Structure 1
């Protein structure tokens, strides 16, 4: 049953092997285990979990036990974690899921590994939660926990107004009755915050900011969203003309408001921008467009910000929120390198973030070099080729490639797909495994995808395109969560490369500089060039914080992304290092999922349930 870190690569583990026995009654196995756990948790000071957890086991917790996102590995560490937090958290009232896909069942996970899994529900001292258990059988025949997940889903004193708890909506039922005005009169005042300050200022009105605003308002936290663009949705509309989402519709719903059933599988950027604009209106979000942050200063003594914003009409407003949520985009600040001789280059050089469409000028026969082979690099290269340019992609290191029509749907099979379980349940299930375990499972999925896409991958290799499946072969999962890039979801460019219509030049040493009409490579070669597109990615979100808010704020924040020592994503969706400051970003699905947990953290601080990051840090330092 060993599950260990191997080699010098962090979070690369060996999955356990399980006996081939098939249990006759998964529900009985799950219920007996859950009842034993409940009994142990009722006496946290003396709990002994050795009989119900494998030595190499995992517990991932999102706010149910600790006001942070934690991954704890090995039974002794899990026992210590529970002893430390259960007396206050008071998890109890455990109940197995009794319907649908996530009730107790035996899963054949990968060859040689099966487990009994089930969703379960529980209560805590502050609210209600949902979890997942995964039990594997040892050589002695005993079923013990391999992985357990607990997540706080709702605070008892902040019940979301959903379904039967929805607001009545009549004027008489609103605070103050008719004297407070009609719905539209109240909305006009709310949008401008004429009667008070927003508790939270959200910077950015893309998928992160809009999901965040909807979640915060649903738990009763007043929220203002500001964005420098002209219209909600411009963060997508202003990107290159041919952009379409690479994730399918069932995976990319927004919080509380899924796409209609007739929505296209992959969404064109302008259509998505219009959806964002409609979403902001339907969800009654308070959004100020054409608004930028001028300055922000935090007062530790009163735990409050003083933020000056400049609005589109030339006026300025000073706001005093208690929280800032930074939603400017995980890929928000372009990483733009410069090279010797670039200023004398007689062609055009620009970063991929500035690309709009190759048809804006006559590029027929032009020599175009696209530097970088991630999603944007491929899309831009394809766009130039389709407009008659002579395109070469410059590749420094390998790239992971999977196709939108095969690999992407294999990733979501059984979960976020048409006819699949409810989105809310899928969100819990897909986030319930610790990332080291998810990455280990991704190794097997990546192999299956590669077999299904063998013709494409072999064709790319023959064309000189170098593939990279990651240090452990985990493919897109490791590339995304550790690098934030290094992959391409193929929507047509791979076949152009295979057919030789788009050329590939491999240059491990990168670029030496520019000549008058050429790009000079580190290996001594040169490529004639009229246009060079630097599809070189984006900087850490902390770079944007430093640029906008200054060193005083940025120096207290942590870098964002990649996995920390436990296996959780650094700083994103959780304490950032700076009190009252939070990062929120990622693809549409991640923004939907983690906006809930970030809203709960902010609500807990405001309700006095969580001491906030300053006290948490002091507590942890004292234990060290």
Structure 2
């Protein structure tokens, strides 16, 4: 029954084996379990989980028990944590979901693992939330918790103005009535922050910054978003010409505003840029484009930033927010290696982030080497081939490959898909398992995807392309959350490799240097090259912080991404280590989901529910 740790990686776990079951009444069993949990929670100092949690159980919490994101593993650890927090938290009022997909039910998860699951609602002293519970059966027949998830969704007394709570909208109903001006007159003053300082400065107006701004403003927190580009959405428009999103539409909605029903499954970059621009207008976000951060200093005594901004018209403005949210992109600062002899190279050399389109010049017959086999490397190689170049991809280590037309849709089966459950419920379910457990389940999913994509994968192997399914075979899930890369979502390049139209050179020991017209490899061979594209990825977001804000700020921040010792992402969407400073990024879906949790953390600080200091201190220790 145990979930065990294996190997040298603390986040590789073995899923439990459970007895086969045909539970007659999942609702009764789960309700009885919650009754027992509530009994224990009613006596905080002496909580005893022995009879309702397996020894190797999990509790993932988003702000309900602590103003941070926590993954607790083992019943004893969960018990100790609840004893320390329950008297303040007052976790209570559990209610099972009674309609929709995630009512109490039996789930055959994978071979050998069956659990009872249900979505549920709860309250705390601070707010209300939703969660998921999974119970597995012991050999003696007792149902105990294998995994529970609690996520705070709203704060009491500061609920979002949604649905029946929406604003009336008439001039008379606005603060100050007509004397305060019409809607457009107020918007102009709000946009320029003529009457008050912004509480939050968001740096970057991509999917992270826009989702963040919308969530904050809906909680009544004034927010200024600044972006260096000329228009909102240029962070997508100015990327290479052929780029489209690799995730389907139902997965990539923005907060509060889903795509129309006729939206394409995969969004072209310019179309997405236009959507961002429209979103900023519709959501009434205060965005200053062509604006850059010149300097920023934090005053610990006043818990306030002093940020100098340079605007497109040449003017400067100093703002004093209490929080800075860094939304410059998880893939923001290019990682550009240098090599011996590079200055002698007579061809063209550039990083993949600078790629626009191969048709910008006549590349027919030119020998192009693309260094790197992630998403960008494949897309750039395909772009050059389609414009007549002789293309070779240089691969140092294996890459995970999943196809957009099969594997990607299999990943979202039963959740974010056309005709599926509400997005908000899918978001709860998709984040409800601890990352180590998600990875363990992904091992089984990755095998299913590989079976469905066998023809493509076998073809790549025959072409000399090295595949890597991860240290535990978890595929894209582990690659994304621990490395931020190392995978390719195939939108056509794999077939070009299989057909020999794009060549692959495997060089495990890498590059030794450049000659005038060649790239020299550690194995003693050389690749003739007129153009070399370094699709070598991006640095940690902290690198950008150091570059823009300086060492004083960066030294207090943590590195971002990969899992901490509990199994949560380091510093992202949660305390960064620096007071009043938050990292925020990820794909469109993650920015929609986690913008809620970061906005709630900031609101908790602003309302006095959280000082933020304890969580920042704890972040520095993890």
Deviation of residue 44 (structure 1)? 1.1
Secondary structure class of the residue paired with 1:346 = coil
Aligned residue in 2 for 1:45: 45
Aligned residue in 2 for 1:245: 245
* Structure 1 residues 490 and 536: alpha-carbon distance in aligned structure 2, compared to 1, 3 A threshold: same
Aligned residue in 1 for 2:177: 177
Render the CA deviation track for 1:564-619: whole Å, top value 9, x for unaligned.
Answer: 0000000000000000000000000000000000000000000000011x234558
Aligned residue in 1 for 2:265: 265
Aligned residue in 1 for 2:21: 21
* Structure 1 residues 617 and 272: alpha-carbon distance in aligned structure 2, compared to 1, 3 A threshold: closer
Aligned residue in 2 for 1:582: 582
Aligned residue in 2 for 1:123: 123
Aligned residue in 2 for 1:606: 606
CA distance in 2, matches of 1:149, 1:50: 19
Deviation of residue 47 (structure 1)? 1.1
* Structure 1 residues 170 and 225: alpha-carbon distance in aligned structure 2, compared to 1, 3 A threshold: same
CA distance in 1, matches of 2:122, 2:536: 46
2:577–2:619 contact (8 Å) kept in structure 1: no
Aligned residue in 2 for 1:615: 614
Aligned residue in 2 for 1:523: 523
CA distance in 1, matches of 2:494, 2:289: 38
Secondary structure class of the residue paired with 1:461 = helix
CA distance in 1, matches of 2:275, 2:71: 35
CA distance in 2, matches of 1:321, 1:594: 21
CA distance in 2, matches of 1:120, 1:420: 19
CA distance in 1, matches of 2:618, 2:506: 50
CA distance in 1, matches of 2:188, 2:28: 56
List structure 1 runs of 4+ shifted beyond 2 angstroms. Answer: 614-622
Deviation of residue 38 (structure 1)? 1.2
Render the CA deviation track for 1:147-177: whole Å, top value 9, x for unaligned.
Answer: 0000100001211000000000000000000
CA distance in 1, matches of 2:365, 2:617: 63
Secondary structure class of the residue paired with 1:538 = coil
Aligned residue in 2 for 1:533: 533
Secondary structure class of the residue paired with 1:408 = helix
Render the CA deviation track for 1:193-217: whole Å, top value 9, x for unaligned.
Answer: 0000000000000000000000000
CA distance in 2, matches of 1:161, 1:498: 53
Q: TM-score, normalised to structure 1's length?
A: 0.99
CA distance in 2, matches of 1:508, 1:615: 45
CA distance in 2, matches of 1:135, 1:263: 39
CA distance in 1, matches of 2:263, 2:619: 47
CA distance in 1, matches of 2:365, 2:62: 55
CA distance in 1, matches of 2:322, 2:352: 36
Counterpart check, 1:492 vs 2:492: yes
2:571–2:619 contact (8 Å) kept in structure 1: no
Aligned residue in 1 for 2:352: 352
Deviation of residue 42 (structure 1)? 1.1
Aligned residue in 2 for 1:166: 166
CA distance in 1, matches of 2:485, 2:493: 17
* Structure 1 residues 620 and 289: alpha-carbon distance in aligned structure 2, compared to 1, 3 A threshold: closer
CA distance in 2, matches of 1:44, 1:460: 57
CA distance in 2, matches of 1:174, 1:252: 33
2:202–2:213 contact (8 Å) kept in structure 1: yes
Residue correspondence of structure 1 range 524-563 to structure 2 within 5 A:
524-563=524-563
Aligned residue in 2 for 1:443: 443
Deviation of residue 280 (structure 1)? 0.1
* Structure 1 residues 360 and 621: alpha-carbon distance in aligned structure 2, compared to 1, 3 A threshold: closer
Deviation of residue 115 (structure 1)? 0.4
2:576–2:619 contact (8 Å) kept in structure 1: no
CA distance in 2, matches of 1:327, 1:433: 26
CA distance in 2, matches of 1:450, 1:349: 35
Secondary structure class of the residue paired with 1:359 = helix
Counterpart check, 1:433 vs 2:447: no
CA distance in 2, matches of 1:229, 1:558: 27
* Structure 1 residues 343 and 618: alpha-carbon distance in aligned structure 2, compared to 1, 3 A threshold: closer
2:59–2:72 contact (8 Å) kept in structure 1: yes
Render the CA deviation track for 1:249-307: whole Å, top value 9, x for unaligned.
Answer: 00000000000000000000000000000000000000000000000000000000000
Residue correspondence of structure 1 range 170-569 to structure 2 within 5 A:
170-569=170-569
CA distance in 2, matches of 1:345, 1:359: 22
* Structure 1 residues 617 and 312: alpha-carbon distance in aligned structure 2, compared to 1, 3 A threshold: closer
CA distance in 2, matches of 1:604, 1:306: 22
CA distance in 2, matches of 1:348, 1:620: 43
Render the CA deviation track for 1:371-394: whole Å, top value 9, x for unaligned.
Answer: 000000000000000000000000
Where in structure 1 are there 5+ consecutive unaligned residues?
none
Secondary structure class of the residue paired with 2:134 = strand
Aligned residues: 622
CA distance in 1, matches of 2:427, 2:618: 31
CA distance in 2, matches of 1:102, 1:20: 21
Deviation of residue 620 (structure 1)? 9.1
Deviation of residue 344 (structure 1)? 1.2
Render the CA deviation track for 1:305-360: whole Å, top value 9, x for unaligned.
Answer: 00000000000000000000000000000000111111110100000000000011
* Structure 1 residues 509 and 570: alpha-carbon distance in aligned structure 2, compared to 1, 3 A threshold: same
Deviation of residue 9 (structure 1)? 1.5
Deviation of residue 10 (structure 1)? 2.5
